[in-house]
Structure 1
Amino acid sequence: MKGLRIYASPDGESHFDEIELPTTKRAVHSEAAPFDVTGSYTASHVRITHIPAGMREVAWHRVPEPVLTVRLDGSVEYETSDGEVRYVPAGSFVLVEDTHGKGHLSRHSPEAQTVIWISLPNGLELPPE
C-alpha cells in the first residue's frame, strides 16, 4: 500500500518520500474474500480535525510528533522547504514526520475539510506480527 511521507533531513530541510506499507491478504470475515491488510501499528492518540472553509494557506510549520493524516474530504497541496509541491486528494494518507527543521507549508482547497490525525510514537516502523 503506497503513501506519501514528509520528513526533515538532519540539516532541517523538509522533503517528500513515497512509502510502501507491507500488507498480507487476510480474510477479516468468513463471508468476505481476503483483502490487503497492514500489520498493527502503535498509536498514542487520535484526533479528528475540522478545517473550516476558506482556511487556504497554513504558513511554514512542523508537527510535534510523527502523525499519519487521513484526509476524508477536500484536498491539500503540501510544499516542502526544498521547493517540491505535492497535491493530496481526499481519501489519501500522509505520514508527516518533520518534527524539526523548517517544516512544510499547507494550501487547502476552499471547502471545509475533515482530517483524522493518528499520532504514531514510532512512526511506521514495521509492526510486530
Structure 2
Amino acid sequence: MTTWPALCIYALPDGQSRLIDIDLPVTRKVTGPDGASHWEGVAAATHWGLAGSASSASHHEWHTCGQAGLSITLRGTWEIEASDGTRRALGPGDVLVMLDTTGQGHRSWPQGEGDTMVIGMGLGEDTEREMRARLR
C-alpha cells in the first residue's frame, strides 16, 4: 500500500497535546474491463474551507481544532506547537491530521513574510475513528 507522511496533533487523556508522525493511505483509481472507474480508499469529509494568514491571526493562543480534520498547506509556512513544547513547521504539501478536539489544544502561527494558505477539511465520524485507531 502506498502511503503519504503526515503530522498528527492529538490529545492525551489528561488533556495535554502531542505531535506524532503517521502515514496515511493513498487512494487508487481502479478501472474495470468495461472502462468504468472508481476510487478505492476514499474517506468521508463533512466540510472544507481555505484559510490564509489573515484568518489565523488569533491562533497563537492555546486552542483545540474544534472538529477532527485535515489541514493541508498550499502556500507559505506555518508552525504548530503541542502542549509539551514540541514545535513543527509545515510547508507546501504538508498534511496535518487534527485530532486534538479536547484538552489544552495547540498554538499555531504563520512564519515568514509571505501569505500562508491552508485548506482544511472536517472528517466524517467513521473517518475520525479510523484516524484515531492509527494512534494506537
**Which TM class, normalised by the smaller chain length?**
0.7 to 0.9
Structure 1 residue runs of 5 or longer lacking an equivalent are 29-36
Distance 1:23 1:80, change over 3 A: same
CA offset at residue 111 of structure 1? Answer: 2.1
Provide the aligned length of Structure 1 versus Structure 2: 118
Match of 1:89 in 2: 91
Match of 1:125 in 2: 130
What TM-score do you get using the length of structure 1 for normalisation? 0.78
1:73 and 1:114 in contact (8 A); partners too: yes
Identify which of 104, 107, 117 aligns with 1:105. Answer: 107
Q: Deviations over 1:48-70 (max 9, x none)?
A: 11222994962111111101001
Rounded to whole Å, the distance in 1 between the matches of 2:105 and 2:56 is 22
Distance 1:52 1:21, change over 3 A: same
Rounded to whole Å, the distance in 2 between the matches of 1:62 and 1:45 is 18
Q: Deviations over 1:9-44 (max 9, x none)?
A: 11000001111112366568xxxxxxxx87101001
Residue 9 (1) aligns with residue 12 (2): yes
Distance 1:80 1:40, change over 3 A: same
1:44 and 1:121 in contact (8 A); partners too: yes
1:53 and 1:111 in contact (8 A); partners too: no
Match of 2:22 in 1: 19
Q: Percent identity?
A: 31
SS of residue paired to 2:130: coil
Rounded to whole Å, the distance in 2 between the matches of 1:47 and 1:38 is 24
Rounded to whole Å, the distance in 2 between the matches of 1:45 and 1:54 is 18
CA-atom RMSD, angstroms?
2.6
